[in-house]
A and B are shown apart, each in its own frame.
Chain A
Amino acid sequence: MLAATSQQPQLVTHEIEGLRVELPAELQSFFFESGYVPTTAEEFRGNARLRVRSVGEILITHTPSALHSGISHRDGRSGKTLIKDLSRSGVGVLYHYELYPEEQFQLRFQGRLLLVATARCRRIANKCYEVGGRIISVETIESTQ
């Protein structure tokens, strides 16, 4: 279980095999944060978001065809990602490259397999993009870790 609490030591991201996300200085406390993410009335969020700080496995399952001519084909590309927060309908992750709206990916972490459609992406730093996704489906899986 990698979800952090204030008692746990900070995870050094470059020591996680396969993880290419580079956390910038302002996110160095990433694994020390917990609890619900504050929100504002203007955001119109349907569900509360809980900080879930964990490493997950990501598999890109669908990139819209119109994007294929501009970016290298990445359906089937897999790797590691940092899970940031989770709600009943959405998930936030940090990834090392940009994902476009409507790209879909599978996310495996903490005994769950989520199918997610990218809703938004924001560049935090080089090799660090915050991706917000809409959860399409959730399955429970047996942990192999």
Chain B
Amino acid sequence: MLFSSTEGLIPISMATLSPTASLGVNIYLRARSNDPPVLYCAANELPDYERLVPLVGQGVNKLFIDVTDRARYQQYLRDNWDDLICDEASPIPNRVAVLSEVLRDVLDTEFARNDTESIVAASQKLGRVTSHLLSESNIITQQLCNVLHHDYATFTHCTNVSMYCVLLARKLGYTTADIEEIAVGGLLHDLGKLQIDERILNKPDKLDEFEFREIKKHPATGFIQLVDREDMSFGQLMMCYQHHERLNGSGYPVGCVSEEIHPWAKICSIVDVYEALTSNRPYRKPMSPKTALAILDKGEGTEFDSEMLECWRQLVNNHN
């Protein structure tokens, strides 16, 4: 199991706990990352929020459950996500944290089934929710980063990219309808990766020529999976097909140049790289936002659209 710690526990967001519904599994707490887990809430109890408040103040936002209880947690999320996300009394970062958990959970399940029809259906539904929640709120990028997971699973990456796309599209002044489509495109942009052997995707060493060639097939693979669908727009298809293209033609699969690359694919390319750099990878630790931005800056105007990158820089530096 990808997120299993050595004790067999997986992290869950505190924000997903409902004051009125029991999770039905034991929940553990770690005050500091090196502390041993202690039982916070037994399976048959409701969460005691008073115990959590001081921890939240210290920046703790994750609790833990046993890895064997994951299916039960996923069912709990599916049963309660509507209430948790739509709870207007709840702070926006909490609701976004719930959304992130739900997106990851649903994408994880759907990606594992590898059925394009149900992946697209789920993405359409959750893309709308993502777009609505993020474009109507004043959440800043740093708050968003704090509640997201940063592991290297494809479903986590797609979740984060979709949310980042929404923030950047909003900043660039796109319409609500466009932002909704962009959110869905972000969720689906790496669909083709589901056809790549996990041993290649998760390889901790440098990829050899064959492996890199396999990786480079994923934009076209995803595009082919989506191109005959009536419910996909051209921009969404291009997010999938062109998100590794670069303005100077150095990208793949085609090597398109600036004006040939769809604007939504340009948005996706910036946040895709940023997300990858700031997340854990099998071969390195996550970079700080500052370092990730510095790497993106090197490609300003040559690989990445200057105006879009400037907007993203402002967002990361908390200037909404």
- Chain A interface (Cβ < 8 Å from any Cβ of B): 42, 64-71, 98, 100-102, 120-123, 129
Contact = CB atoms under 8 A, between A and B. Distances in A.
B227 A67 contact: yes
B234 interface: yes
A55 B209 CA distance: 33
Given A42-B213, A101-B224, A101-B227, A66 B233 contact: yes
Contacts of B237: 66-67, 70
Contacts of A100: 223, 227, 241
A65 B230 contact: yes
A44 B213 CA distance: 12
B229 interface: yes
A70 B223 CA distance: 14
B268 interface: no
Interface of B: 209-210, 213, 220, 223-224, 226-230, 232-235, 237-238, 241, 249, 253-257, 260, 262
Contacts of B226: 66
26 contacts: A42-B209, A42-B210, A42-B213, A65-B228, A66-B229, A66-B230, A66-B232, A66-B234, A66-B237, A67-B234, A67-B237, A70-B234, A70-B235, A70-B237, A98-B254, A100-B241, A101-B220, A101-B227, A102-B224, A102-B227, A121-B253, A121-B254, A123-B249, A123-B255, A123-B260, A129-B254
B256 A69 contact: no
A82 to B, nearest CB: 18
B253 A120 contact: yes
Going nearest first, the 8 A-B pairs with the smallest beta carbon separation are A70-B234, A42-B210, A123-B255, A64-B227, A69-B234, A66-B232, A101-B224, A101-B220
A98 B229 CA distance: 21
Contacts of A71: 234
Nearest to B257: A123
Contacts of A42: 209-210, 213
A69 B226 CA distance: 15
Nearest to B211: A42
Contacts of B230: 65-66
A61 to B, nearest CB: 15
Given A66-B232, A70-B238, A98-B260, A120 B220 contact: yes
Contacts of A120: 220, 253
Nearest to B228: A64
